[in-house]
Structure 1
């Protein structure tokens, strides 16, 4: 049975709660909703300053813009905030990747902007758990390791992106580039449950917009000469929903279009989300969508254009990922923590990392709950708890050199 070595204990003793909490409070006082570029820039500056305490380079990099389908069917290119990349000892024999995100789901005009103590040890605020608390955990775990003597020779990169909450459309290529040749990765999303249970396997996620163009006509005088785009969109929504089966959920979420009651609508857009749990079901869904659209075009005499895709691939548990989960579990046991995990339909950057063939545990962040709501909270005792878990996991990964 492995026990904590004196070298490991020296690093763990370096971790204190107060500096982490004060950073979380400072970072969460600035709105960094995905679309708030000014707030993201301010947050990136604060995070760059904090990350500069590590012995590496800190860069702010631009990501690629992405397509946004407007309600009128036009394509708008959307810009995102800059992403942060930290590189430490890039020539070391063992390399790891650590990721987090600075954006939140709360835009600049949202009512939820303040930090509030609900009770002793429970902090309510935008992004406290998802995931500025996780960034603090990551940083202080690494600072503890760097502060200890005689560490194994390992290097790492950190990515803090600004677009995770909308599927990482801008940073996905950066994630793929940084994941290359990494032995393992840790992502600092909050734990799946307040008790610290981790997310294991994850479904994938695809977001699609289908633009329909028909032909307008008078609804009373000559309706048969019209081609109803709204009806075609509704028909496709029903047929796509019928694709739902074990391991694949389909959610037609919105139809934009239509007009006056006396006009056959010539324009509509269907928005839909699909969640496949396996790569095979993702391929099945991709093929079925194309066939269904072709059938709708033929039967309704409309044209349809598909936009979007599966930005988050499914994340099953590979053998190497299982070994990484086992290591985290053992580190937890040595720290007096019970670590378990469960499958989830939620998605994150861990999906993208796993798709690169890199084992990842993607809920190494704080314990808390009610994320994406104005009730979001952080259990502050979990800041040092999770930082110690990360530090011990990283040190043992570096010592092992492989999974």
Structure 2
């Protein structure tokens, strides 16, 4: 099995090495693809505007399904087998899954998501045009623009007469912004699809620079620190009987995290929430709570909730080991417990396959006159669903979505509509060339 996989990878890499063509060598099929994108562009922008104006905050299940239904109808018309799944088992709206079962070329997995961070109580509910091409709206870049690009690329491949020969699976999740639990159920459809695929393409917006693409993403997981001390009158702090209290111990731990790990390349760890005192009550979701304490009483307890982002599983493990060792070295009369939440987003590790696919993507972009594309700094791209394909596919790229804007996850989110056609053209031609070259044509 291992030998067969290695041979398959060698064969795929070898064929990809000859994948780029000059504009003068473009075949008729590629010209059909480009013409189709232009033909359907206006309708695609209309679809984007319509779906941006539908609130699909993760917890607005009805809105998430409404957006999924519109995209489902588009893919139905292209001959995909589609379904909207139930997310009841993990308390979310569910996903949109679409498949074609062609027999030629590599198996593609294309990844989008239906939900946004803007719930029903957000003041940001509809788009406005800032000029002829710049749209400001909830989820325009993250990532309804990317979803529309997927559909437009599929239309172009359909019009060119090659889609029916291709194996393509599209997963648009309903809980990318706030994952359902347990994660093993929430991401099962995505992981299963990755296991069937050879190449994964994600349509998040990367760092919003059309000249970059994502070959590696940092993972994201949570950690919780709970510290206890000996409560007493403040006049006895630092004594042998009382020690330093919970807050001093917490400050020692956080400071050591910084001193020992802050210079680790591509690693970040952020204590986003802290509460301490004589008596504390923490909300179940660790987003708030209450604390009681007096300036003349040594603090008995603190709780800190944070995240950690690493570029590889090895880097994450190393950082967790260092943090654990720091926590184990207590100040007098204190104890501490550090818990890591395994239900986070894994890293999308940089691989040889991802790097090779970037080279092919860059060649297509230059052939089509859109200029060179390079890898984005992984610190400039957050966690995303494509990370769940890591270790399952031979090649993966992300950041293929609508770009050129700014303000993701804020009420200032924007995206440049001019990049819809660009990204769809590169995507469709890339997929066509990958199919064609694997077949030796």
Same fold, TM exceeding 0.5? yes
* Alpha-carbon distance, 1:329 to partner: 1.1
Of 121, 125, 131, the residue aligned with 1:113 is: 125
Alignment correspondent of 1:365: 401
Unaligned 5+ segments in structure 2 are 1-20, 278-290
Secondary structure of 1:394's aligned partner? helix
RMSD of equivalent CA atoms: 2.9
Of 197, 206, 217, the residue aligned with 1:202 is: 217
Unaligned 5+ segments in structure 1 are 67-78
Secondary structure of 1:364's aligned partner? coil
Is 1:253 paired with 2:278?
A: no
1:46-93 deviation line (CA, Å, top 9, x unaligned): 232233223222122245877xxxxxxxxxxxx222111112117666
Secondary structure of 1:180's aligned partner? helix
Alignment correspondent of 2:48: 24
Alignment correspondent of 1:173: 188
Secondary structure of 1:360's aligned partner? strand
1:349-371 deviation line (CA, Å, top 9, x unaligned): 23332343431110111123222
User: Residue 150 and residue 35 in structure 1: after superposition, are their counterparts in 2 closer, same or farther (change >3 A)?
Assistant: closer
Of 45, 70, 73, the residue aligned with 1:49 is: 73
Name the CA distance, whole Å, in 2 between partners of 1:285 and 1:204. Answer: 13
Higher deviation after alignment, 40-49 or 325-334: 40-49
Is 1:289 paired with 2:323?
A: yes
Are 2:357 and 2:395, in contact at CA under 8 Å, matched by a contact in 1?
yes
Alignment correspondent of 1:9: 31
Secondary structure of 1:44's aligned partner? helix
Are 1:328 and 1:339, in contact at CA under 8 Å, matched by a contact in 2?
no
Are 1:312 and 1:352, in contact at CA under 8 Å, matched by a contact in 2?
yes
Secondary structure of 1:309's aligned partner? coil
Are 2:99 and 2:168, in contact at CA under 8 Å, matched by a contact in 1?
yes
Is 1:238 paired with 2:255?
A: yes
Name the CA distance, whole Å, in 1 between partners of 2:257 and 2:114. Answer: 34
1:205-264 deviation line (CA, Å, top 9, x unaligned): 33222344x367454698766994444443332222232223122222221343333355
User: Residue 29 and residue 216 in structure 1: after superposition, are their counterparts in 2 closer, same or farther (change >3 A)?
Assistant: farther
Of 187, 190, 194, the residue aligned with 2:205 is: 190
Higher deviation after alignment, 223-232 or 309-318: 223-232
Alignment correspondent of 1:126: 138
Alignment correspondent of 2:351: 318
Higher deviation after alignment, 216-225 or 258-267: 216-225
TM-score (norm 2): 0.79
* Alpha-carbon distance, 1:126 to partner: 0.8
Q: Which has the higher strand share?
A: 1
Secondary structure of 1:251's aligned partner? strand
Are 1:152 and 1:395, in contact at CA under 8 Å, matched by a contact in 2?
no
* Alpha-carbon distance, 1:135 to partner: 0.3
Alignment correspondent of 1:336: 369
* Alpha-carbon distance, 1:334 to partner: 1.9
Secondary structure of 1:282's aligned partner? helix
Name the CA distance, whole Å, in 1 between partners of 2:217 and 2:321. Answer: 22
User: How many residues are aligned here?
Assistant: 389
Are 2:157 and 2:428, in contact at CA under 8 Å, matched by a contact in 1?
yes
1:254-284 deviation line (CA, Å, top 9, x unaligned): 2134333335544432112222234332221
User: Residue 38 and residue 218 in structure 1: after superposition, are their counterparts in 2 closer, same or farther (change >3 A)?
Assistant: farther
* Alpha-carbon distance, 1:328 to partner: 1.0
Name the CA distance, whole Å, in 1 between partners of 2:88 and 2:438. Answer: 34
Name the CA distance, whole Å, in 2 between partners of 1:241 and 1:113. Answer: 39
* Alpha-carbon distance, 1:320 to partner: 1.3
Are 1:312 and 1:351, in contact at CA under 8 Å, matched by a contact in 2?
yes
What aligned pairs does 1:133-148 form with structure 2 within 5 A after superposition? 133-148=145-160
Structure exhibiting the larger radius of gyration computed from Cα positions: 2
Alignment correspondent of 2:18: none
